[in-house]
Amino acid sequence: MALERLHVGPFYGSKLLGVLAAALLITALFVTGRSQKLAGVSQPSPAGTTADQAPYRLGGGFRCPLARPVLVMADGHSYPAGHPTKPPQGARAIACYQSSEEAAAAGYRPAPLPPGVLVIGGVYLAPTDRVFRSGCQRAADRLGYAVPCPGLLPTSTPGMAPPELCGTQDPCHRGQGFFFQRDGFEVPSGYVGVSKQRQGSLQLAASPTRQPNGVADFDCEPEGSIATIRVQGSRGVLVHCSGPSSSGQVTLRWTQASVDISMSLQGANAVNQQLLIAMAAHLRLVRPTT
């Protein structure tokens, strides 16, 4: 029996072409979606962060954006801005969080602190090193009177020059006042410093009580007394000053061994008051050897 040739009419022919076209389109979409998935186009990052929230490399380590300053690493710890402990060599950065509490909720506790470090309001105060302390002795010898030497200072941002005494700006010539300034140290989110910005600025000044026009009241127009406290066995006064920036400043003043001392932080707030009290408690008066 001979096979009959199949004849397709115009209506059925167009319908069949439509079905074939739809099938090809579905196949193309499936292949495209599968290839994108394999290429990682639609895959979220491990911590669910976007590009502007992820860690980035800087100076041989990792840093986080200002809005999310808490770095978490594969060692299971978090490293908030200013934390003096460095992540283990070769550790992998995971993500950045807005706060230590948020990181802890995700399972990342702050890394252990080195001995002697204090944390006040999210600001880390770390012990000064031998090089800095030798600079205090050099300053006392050049000026000819005892100078206050900080035992604790806020931690520096990566790449920032180490704190310096008797540098180019303040060479410590005999007969002059002692002055030390530290700007740009690490602060947490929410910290209010210079001009109401997240920027820290510390000033430390001293001069003999007998010296006219001393610098112990540098840039401080008192606007009110905050508290009277004991500092290094002396009576100290914590005051609120107008300061050189719009955020105001807090200043702690006292006299010790016939030297007027003034320590200030830009930003009139409770955290800076506590930081001043802590740093003043760890100051050491270094006397000249000559």
Can you tell me the mean pLDDT for 17-45?
A: 39
Residue pair 31/46 in contact by the 8 Å Cβ criterion: no
pLDDT above 70 (res 25):
no
* Measured torsion, CA atoms of residues 172, 251, 240, 193, in degrees rounded to the nearest 10: 90
Pick from 263, 269, 265: nearest CA to 283 = 263
Tens of pLDDT, residue by residue over 194-226, are: 988 989 999 999 999 987 666 555 567 777 889
Rg, Å, the chain Cα set: 31
Q: Which pTM value belongs to this model? A: 0.78
Least confident residue range of 44-53, 153-162, 180-189, 216-225: 44-53
Q: Residues of the chain with pLDDT > 70: what percent?
A: 79
Partnered with residue 206 across adjacent β-strands are 178, 261
Q: What pLDDT, on the 0 to 100 scale, is given for residue 213?
A: 62
- Say what the pLDDT of residue 150 is: 96
Which distant-in-sequence residues (6+ apart) come within 8 Å of 171 by Cβ? 142
Positive or negative, the CA dihedral 135, 136, 141, 143 is positive
Report the C-alpha gap between 231 and 237 in whole angstroms.
Answer: 9
User: What confidence score (pLDDT) does residue 263 get?
Assistant: 95
Supply the pLDDT for residue 172: 86
Residue 273 has pLDDT above 60, yes or no: yes
Residue 132, Cα to own-chain centre: how many angstroms?
21
Burial 150-184 (b: 16+ CB within 10 A, else e): bbbbbbbeeeeeebebbeeebebeeeebbbbbbee
Q: From CA 51, how far away is CA 56, in angstroms rounded? A: 10
Identity at 157, one-letter amino acid code: T
Amino acid code (one letter) for 201: S
Summarised one tens digit per residue, pLDDT across range 53-91 is 789 887 778 889 988 999 999 999 999 999 999 999 889
Q: For residue 3, what pLDDT band results from cuts at 50, 70 and 90? A: very low
Position 38 pLDDT exceeds 70: no
Average pLDDT over residues 165-174: 80
The pLDDT of residue 182: 92
**Low-confidence winner among 20-29, 95-104, 243-252 (lowest mean pLDDT):** 20-29
Three-class DSSP category at 227? strand
pLDDT at position 34 is 39
| Per-residue model confidence as pLDDT tens digits over 101-151 | 999 999 999 999 999 999 999 999 999 999 999 999 999 999 999 999 999
* pLDDT average, residue stretch 170-191: 88
Mean pLDDT (the chain) is: 81
- Please give the residue that has the higher pLDDT: either 159 or 132: 132
